[in-house]
Amino acid sequence: MKQRMQGMVMGILVTVLLLGTVTVSAATPQTIEAIFGGVRTTVFGNEFVVRNTEGQIIEPLTYNGIVYIPVNVVLHAMGANAQWNEETRTLNFGLAGVAEQPPVTNERTPLTAAAAPFDWGSNSTRGASWNVRVVDNIRMGGEYYSNAIRFDYRSFLNGLRAHSLHNLQGNFRTLTGYIGRIDGTAQFNATFNFIGDGRIIETFNLNATDLPREITVNVEGVRQLKVEVSIGAGGTGFMQQNTSYAFVGYLQ
């Protein structure tokens, strides 16, 4: 339903699209035509009804393609707040001097979906070769896994390294998942290094006969993640053999 609204809209409503600190300049009273209601609101995927401190429902306002809503109500639902300084006429989001992040949900997103590899180590040298790719339906320890990053090697040489690079943009806190040798491939040992912004965060050593290992890596603040797999001693005989390892990861 269309209604006319008289007065300074800025003094009442602030668009949810605003970020950071906003300084409001002098406003000129004007008449605008806006649309009330007809907007469904959710917070982190959950239904959320916008209400004032008295519990009354506040209908979102749409004007020029932008939805306006009381920002303090939304921030409070996200675990933060908004502060208005009348003296300096400044609107501050979050605690004073602190940039707060939304709370992390318990939902896990596959690494290959949230931050698919944008680059990888795939090469060959001195008769040895290795390849990195994203696959489904791989088997480790007799169980099947999807959303896996597969590291394939063909050589009897030790110390071959392959990697995948992922752009996390600092948006995640925890990386969980499973690492292991793919069933039926040659029994070489392996080392997994998880490297965040050029610094090794975690290292895991696997024997060729180990079952898939469940891991947790702290990636809070990491922008670029490198998953590096190095093939070590092991194998039977001295001819070239195929061995493959995989990492199935989830981000939170």
**β-bridge mates for residue 62, sequence order:** 35, 67
Report residue 99 CA to chain centroid gap: 18
Q: Half-sphere exposure of residue 28, counting CA atoms within 13 Å on the CB side?
A: 1
- CB under 8 Å to 53, separation ≥6 — which residues? none
CATH 3.40.50.300 fits domain 109-251: no
Beta strand 128-135 with 148-154 is antiparallel
DSSP state of 44: T
Q: Report CA-CA distances (Å) from 14 to 18, 35, 52, 61, 189.
A: 8, 15, 14, 10, 58
pLDDT of residue 184: 93
pLDDT of residue 167: 96
Closest CA to 219 of 242, 239, 194: 194
Q: Where are the domains of the chain?
A: 2-93, 109-251
Backbone angles phi, psi at 244, to 5 degrees: -140, 135
Stretch (H or E) spanning 111: helix 111-114
Cβ atoms of residues 243 and 128 within 8 Å = no
The ranges of the chain with pLDDT < 70 are 1-28, 44-46, 53-55, 75-81, 93-107, 122-127, 155-159, 233-240
Q: Could you give the CA distance from residue 164 to residue 20 in angstroms, rounded to a whole number?
A: 34
pLDDT of residue 58: 78
List pLDDT tens digits, range 161-171: 899 999 999 99
Q: Could you give the CA distance from residue 162 to residue 242 in angstroms, rounded to a whole number?
A: 14
Closest CA to 39 of 76, 77, 65, 71: 65
pLDDT of residue 155: 66
**β-bridge mates for residue 150, sequence order:** 133, 246
Cβ atoms of residues 176 and 250 within 8 Å = yes
Tokens standing for 124? 């060959």
Amino acid found at 63? Y
Per-residue exposure over 105-131, b if at least 16 CB sit within 10 Å of its own CB, e if not: eeeeebbbebbebeebbeeeeeebbbb
Q: Could you give the CA distance from residue 77 to residue 92 in angstroms, rounded to a whole number?
A: 16
pLDDT of residue 101: 46
Cβ atoms of residues 58 and 51 within 8 Å = yes
Report residue 97 CA to chain centroid gap: 25
